[in-house]
Amino acid sequence: MTVAGRTLACTVSVVVLGASGFTWFEYRSLDDGMIKSTALADAKRNAPPHLDKSVNLLLIGLDSRKDMDGNDLPKQFVEDELHAGSSEIGGYNTNALIVLHIPANGGKVTALSVPRDDYVQTVGADGKMHKIKEAYGIAKEAAEAKLAGKGLSKAELERQSREAGRSATIQTVQSFLDVPVDHFAEVNLIGFYDIAKAVEPIQVCLNHPVDDPIIARTATHEGGGTGLKLPAGISSLDAAQALSFVRQRHHLTNGDLDRTHRQQAFISSVEYRLKEQGVLNDFGQMQKLFGVVKKDVVIDNEWNILDFAQQAPNLTGGNVEFNTLPITGFKTVGGQEVNTVNPDLIKKIVRQLFNRDAALTAPETAPVSAASETASPTPSPSGAPKSVVDVNAAAGAGAAATESKALVALGYQAGRIGDAPARTRATTVTYGSGAKADAQAVAAHYGVTAAPSAAVAAGHVRVTLAATHTPTPTPATPSAGASAPADGSADPAAGLPMQGPAVKAGGIPCVD
């Protein structure tokens, strides 16, 4: 669950590798001991075409409590010090996926986070629909089965099966976003702690105070919590607190989606600290820092660091803007809650940001392919206004009001809001006469079945949310008062329906 940390280590590694023009000797001293992967080969054969000389970097944060040889990380470190759960948790999920797009002729770098629970068509795994984070583990497990009985050592079996996982992840991201991946970097749990320890204390900023107590795991409760307790405003964190900051998802309005913004803000804060301390312009300090990082990082074997050095300055000095690709809602599949997405819209957004080749118009009505499995509500017949939706929530009227706003943003009319019994265990959708079509669409949004009810007024749909329901994120809309960046350049993401506000590097951004 240490999503941002691993991505942070990748990002810092990228910056450290190429922040200035190194000599060949300096390059070799940094490159020595790096773990290289050939997983990019298959992905490049199946990649969409390049339209220019820009570079796309995929940063992979692997949620694994194991080392490069497949051995469990020390229990004292993972469970007792970091409160990150046992080696049985996390598996080989890629809980952080960020694509950095470096323009061919310089300029701002666009960073796109892909929410880990997006329900997508996998490529190079089993070819089925899964959460995007699962492509790695599915492909790795299949590779292990094929390699069994070949007499490989445990370490070699781990190495080869992870290569399959990397390849599947890269290919799935390429297919989902419809862009080629030129290079990638992967890092796991311990990589975050090492880099955070090397640069602590790290300053972060919160819009609101947080209190996320640790809840012990029991036979009836999965446990959770990070133990993080911070005031609003700027705080200085040590490595363990930094891990809690990027792991927290409970007590956040949008759960994992808010945690993604924590990842982005944390990366910005660390880059800012390294720049302020002069580390990025001091080869000796960079060499020391990279010595800590590189044992935990895997990069592709085609990465020419000397060539990349010309582009890497774009990654520093506030030239990066982080955005999170939008989801359309939530759905339950096989007992698991997933993010529903509109693949056609995702591809249009990425094309607009990366290629700047066509304005994205009317994103809210973009066509949805059958493969998207999206749970977005469909319009009422004959263009009639959508039904009135009444919302009750076990968490109280405040939770109901939040959900009502999200449904209104999806096109429904706001109805009454109220409380539901605290014992409510499952979300239900009922409807009155004339509201069947809308009720079925709303029910699909929550992964349940709509039922008629004489207790619901005509033209109304009634949603009663389970006590454990995660709020539906309200689709982002462009700010009417949005201003151009201070440097006068156009904001490529302006007007695009991203998941929440952008996080801009170059300082210590405040987030929830």
- Residue 160: how many other CB atoms lie within 10 Å: 16
Among 34, 43, 301, which residue's Cα sits nearest to residue 180?
43
At residue 156, the pLDDT reads: 95
Judge contact between 427 and 469, C-beta under 8 A: yes
Judge contact between 216 and 223, C-beta under 8 A: yes
CA–CA gap between residue 97 and residue 332 (Å, rounded): 22
Residues paired with residue 419 on neighbouring β-strands, in sequence order: 393
Joined tokens for residue 10: 């990748």
HEC assignment per residue over 449-496:
CEEECCCCCCCEEEEEECCCCCCCCCCCCCCCCCCCCCCCCCCCCCCC
Q: What tens-digit pLDDT sequence spans the chain (512 residues)? A: 333 344 444 454 444 444 333 444 555 555 667 788 999 998 898 898 887 888 899 989 887 777 777 777 766 666 655 555 554 555 789 888 999 998 877 677 889 999 999 999 999 889 899 999 999 999 999 999 999 989 999 999 999 999 999 999 999 999 999 999 999 988 876 777 777 788 888 888 988 898 888 776 555 545 567 788 999 999 998 888 887 888 777 777 777 788 888 888 888 888 788 777 777 667 677 777 777 767 778 889 988 655 555 555 556 656 788 899 999 888 899 888 999 999 999 999 998 888 754 444 333 333 333 333 333 344 344 345 578 999 988 876 678 888 888 888 777 888 888 888 776 778 899 999 988 888 887 887 777 788 999 999 999 999 998 877 766 655 443 333 333 343 444 556 666 788 878 888 778 888 88
Collect all residues with Cβ–Cβ distance below 8 Å to 341 and sequence separation of at least 6: 118, 119, 120, 325, 326, 327, 328, 372, 374
Q: Checking DSSP bridges between strand 336-340 and strand 329-333, what pairing results, if any?
A: antiparallel
Cα–Cα distances in angstroms (integers) from residue 303 to residues 14, 34, 38, 182, 366, in the given order: 11, 11, 11, 9, 37
Residues paired with residue 61 on neighbouring β-strands, in sequence order: 96, 187
Judge contact between 497 and 364, C-beta under 8 A: yes
For the chain, list the domains and their CATH numbers: 3-41+57-115+181-324+342-358+496-511 (3.40.630), 372-465 (3.30.70.2390)
Write out the DSSP string of 304-355.
Answer: -HHHHTTTGGGGSTT-EEEEE----EEEEETTEEEEE--HHHHHHHHHHHHH
CA–CA gap between residue 504 and residue 512 (Å, rounded): 15
At residue 161, the pLDDT reads: 96
Identify whether 501 is preceded by a cis peptide bond (ω within 30 of 0): no
CA–CA gap between residue 24 and residue 340 (Å, rounded): 47
Percent composition of the chain: helix, strand, coil (DSSP 3-state, to 5) = 35, 20, 40
Sheet holding 35-37, edge to edge: 35-37, 297-300, 183-187, 55-63, 93-102, 109-113, 320-324, 503-504
CA–CA gap between residue 415 and residue 410 (Å, rounded): 14
Among 230, 274, 296, which residue's Cα sits nearest to residue 15?
274
- Residue 220: how many other CB atoms lie within 10 Å: 5
pTM comes to: 0.69
